[in-house]
Chain A
Amino acid sequence: GQNIDQPTEMTATEGAIVQINCTYQTSGFNGLFWYQQHAGEAPTFLSYNVLDGLEEKGRFSSFLSRSKGYSYLLLKELQMKDSASYLCAVMADDYKLSFGAGTTVTVRA
């Protein structure tokens, strides 16, 4: 089976930066995805990494190190609307996504 770990909860102040770490052990690797999920809603795609390095997309950036089985999602200039769960998902050899349990981020004024 696949093993994907991320912290359960994080709290940060509006305007600050938060880094959500994700470590994984999977049978092969075909890419890592980050999804955002607001309470009571469907997950929505944020980013995809398949090569090592940093991918930047506006206030959100995602980093991957395949040799370390490690990724992080960086949220900059936090806004109240960023309060949500952030899901790390790895695509393994079978081309199916395995999800971590998610990290709930609470942004405080």
Chain B
Amino acid sequence: IAGITQAPTSQILAAGRRMTLRCTQDMRHNAMYWYRQDLGLGLRLIHYSNTAGTTGKGEVPDGYSVSRANTDDFPLTLASAVPSQTSVYFCASSDQAGGYNEQFFGPGTRLTVL
């Protein structure tokens, strides 16, 4: 059982390029999340999806888009990358949104935008 996988593990990207970070879970969880983690700021929610076919904006959604075509996959797209999007990106999932529902995190993608 893999849990949550993310790809790529790391990436160096030129500013202005388009980039999609992939996230797949095999736990049949309804809810999925994208966070970025920056030193001194902790994890911040970018976008979320409570169930397949629905998405919502988190705390820092600008410059990012997501889609949830099925239960397992939740890709994050940077349409035109900027240096301030240099960060470590974590995808997470939980059985349900809210309440005592532990979030399981993927291994992360380290993205550098030059």
Contact = CB atoms under 8 A, between A and B. Distances in A.
Interface of A: 1, 4, 30-31, 33, 41-45, 48, 50, 87, 89, 91, 95-102
Given A99-B43, A100-B42, A101-B42, A91 B106 contact: no
A99 B60 CA distance: 13
A50 B98 CA distance: 12
A33 B99 CA distance: 11
B106 A101 contact: no
B98 A95 contact: yes
Nearest to A96: B45
A96 B3 CA distance: 21
Interface in B2-54: 35, 40-45, 48
Contact of A97 (B41, B103, B107): B103
**B interface: dominant SS:** loop
Interface residues of B, number: 22
29 contacts: A4-B42, A31-B99, A31-B100, A33-B102, A41-B108, A42-B105, A42-B106, A42-B108, A43-B90, A43-B105, A45-B102, A45-B103, A45-B104, A48-B102, A50-B100, A87-B43, A89-B43, A96-B45, A96-B48, A96-B58, A97-B43, A97-B103, A98-B45, A98-B59, A99-B35, A99-B44, A100-B42, A101-B40, A102-B42
